[in-house]
Chain A
Amino acid sequence: MNNTFDFNRFSLLLKKELWSGNKKPLIVAGAVFGFLILVALLQIYWTGGYEEMNWNMFPVIIFFGGLIFTSVIFYEFNDKTGTHHYLSLPASNFEKFLSKWLITAILFPIGASILFLIYSKIGDAIYFNYRSETGYIPWKLTDWWSIFFLKIYVVYQSTYLIGAVVFQKYTFFKTSIVHWGISIASAIIGSILFRIIFADQFEGLFYINQDINMQTSDTVIDFMENKFLSILEFALWYLVPPIMWIVGFFKLKEKEA
């Protein structure tokens, strides 16, 4: 028996996480689905704002639903009496982490997208039955907008997963506050650095010289537009999440000790 990863044991763990008889996620999913249908009906009949609704609602569902769900994924481990139950379960810490990761990073966005797709198809059917305006572009899962938000979700999920491990209570709010704090701190540090680097372009402490003639070479512009942004994008989509997941795993291991 492999003590780090065993497929049978991992399947049991996934089954436990998904079908342990806890109907709460299903009830929440059903409630969200019903709420969306109701709002769609109201929009179609009264205000006529259904055209934009799905494009805006999808990121909201994915973000709020997914990040709140991710924040509570270690609820058993963070519970005073549940910790021992979690630790005593015969599975490796890697399997335990992987099951939580799979559910929040992969299965949730897939499940939520499918649910939203079903809802949007129903909504669109009702819409086209009562309104025949042209120009309405139905929401598409394969559209860049939807894919973009799914990718952004995965980046955020990786950080909220760390929050779920680190914080014992109010994990969603605490992680959000940390995010906010980091953003503010980054902005302040960025501004200070900008002030230091471009010191000769300033008049006084904060006023930028109005006569600045920033002559940026074509090479720099080319680098910024074609390479730097691509590197940044690559790092955001493909480096940040795995790094954060690894950090989350080791943080969990540290907390388990």
Chain B
Amino acid sequence: MIKLKNVSFGYNKNKSLFEHLDLQLEQGNIYGLLGKNGAGKTTLMKLIAGLVFPKGGELDVMGFVPQERQPQFLADVYFIHEELYVPKVKISTYEKTYAPFYPNFDHAAFNSYLSEFGLEKNAKMTEMSYGQKKKVLLSFGLACNARLLILDEPTNGLDIPSKSQLRKLLAKSISEERTFIISTHQVRDMANLIDPIIILEAGKIIFQENLYDVSKKLYFDISYRTAEPENVLHAERLPGSYRTVTENTNGVESEIELEALFNTIITNQQKISELFKTNSTHE
């Protein structure tokens, strides 16, 4: 569904963000795109959406070349940015004006998403809080039924109930034909939803695995002790205990803690790469 081959990109001539980037994403998944600040997550999503153009390499998104920005392609992609833009109109006007551009827009679903988020259709969008604007755009994005939905930090600004509502809606909306790419720093908000996980580090994809394979290779545990555990890939101190990540040697599956997984991968790139070598799909 999405193929990036040997893609290079940089915001200026002297400094490249991506070089020889390869990536393949299949439909029917909710991909979690993780990475530190400046790793290139937003830029990668913009490349996929055709909002920035690669300096080299090939991009194929649902059979389209994104940088051509063909209307048919744009109607099948919906991107919710972290910095929101809303016109000075009511939600109902926004729906009337923009929905016809998306041939598969589901008005009933939009109404139901809005009511789940507790939003009134006659509210003026520019007078809403950041969180409310986000809820409108999330509802709109889901109702578009675009085959590719890209969400950049979707839970930023959302209150606690809304985060779980969003998870519920995303889980309900995914289908075999659709793909969601979610970039987030709030990995706990997206737990039990994003799978596979893609980790970007300094413009390189250092990890792309599904959670089933992660649970087979890594073991997540809480160790109730005061001394820092040894022979672990990663340990982080919790009140009265340590959360540890070790190599899964006995085949017992554990509950994956995404934050610990991320930190493990970032601090043990070489080891993790060797451990997952047989499953690697991105290279």
A contacts, CB < 8 Å to B = 1, 3, 6, 9, 12, 15-16, 19-22, 24, 76, 79-82, 84-85, 87-93, 95, 256-257
Contacts and interface: CB of A to CB of B under 8 A. Distances in A.
Contact of A81 (B69, B70, B71, B85): B85
B79 interface: yes
Nearest to A19: B97
B89 A87 contact: no
4 cross-chain pairs, A with B, having the tightest CB-CB distances, nearest first:
A21-B93, A90-B75, A90-B74, A21-B89
Contacts of A76: 85, 87
Contacts of A257: 53, 67
Contact of A82 (B67, B72, B85): B85
A12 B100 contact: yes
Q: Which of B69, B81, B83, B93 has the most CB of A within 10 A?
A: B69
B245 to A, nearest CB: 37
Given A12-B100, A16-B97, A88 B74 contact: yes
B62 interface: no
B88 interface: yes
Given A16-B97, A257-B53, A22 B74 contact: no
Nearest to B79: A88
Interface of B: 46, 49-51, 53, 67, 69-72, 74-75, 77-79, 81, 83-85, 87-90, 93, 97-98, 100-102
A4 to B, nearest CB: 9
A84 B89 contact: no
A81 B84 CA distance: 6
Given A22-B88, A79-B85, A84-B85, A90 B71 contact: yes
Contacts, number: 72
A84 B81 contact: yes
A86 B79 CA distance: 12
A80 B75 CA distance: 22
Contacts of B50: 87
A252 to B, nearest CB: 12
A13 to B, nearest CB: 8
Q: Which of A15, A87, A256 has the most CB of B within 10 A?
A: A87
Nearest to B70: A3
17 contacts: A3-B71, A9-B71, A20-B89, A21-B87, A21-B90, A22-B89, A84-B79, A84-B81, A85-B85, A87-B50, A88-B49, A88-B77, A88-B78, A89-B101, A91-B101, A92-B71, A257-B53
A92 B87 contact: no
Nearest to A1: B72
Contacts of A3: 70-72
B101 A22 contact: no
A64 B50 CA distance: 37
B90 A93 contact: no
B176 to A, nearest CB: 23
Nearest to A11: B100
Contacts of B79: 84, 88
Nearest to B150: A88
A256 B53 CA distance: 10
Contacts of A93: 69
Q: Which of A3, A79, A90 has the most CB of B within 10 A?
A: A90
A84 B71 contact: no
Contacts of A85: 85
B69 to A, nearest CB: 7
Nearest to A8: B100
Nearest to B83: A81
Contacts of A95: 71
B97 to A, nearest CB: 5
A8 to B, nearest CB: 9
A5 B105 CA distance: 21
Nearest to B89: A21
A97 to B, nearest CB: 13
A20 B71 contact: no
Contacts of B67: 257
A256 B52 CA distance: 9
Contact of A15 (B81, B84, B97): B97
B126 to A, nearest CB: 10
Contacts of B49: 88
Contacts of A90: 71-72, 74-75, 101-102
Contacts of A87: 50-51, 69
A170 B84 CA distance: 23
A240 to B, nearest CB: 30
Contacts of A1: 71-72
A15 B70 CA distance: 20
Nearest to A24: B88
Contacts of B93: 20-21
Nearest to B67: A257
Contacts of B101: 9, 12, 89-91
B62 to A, nearest CB: 14
A87 to B, nearest CB: 6
Nearest to B68: A3
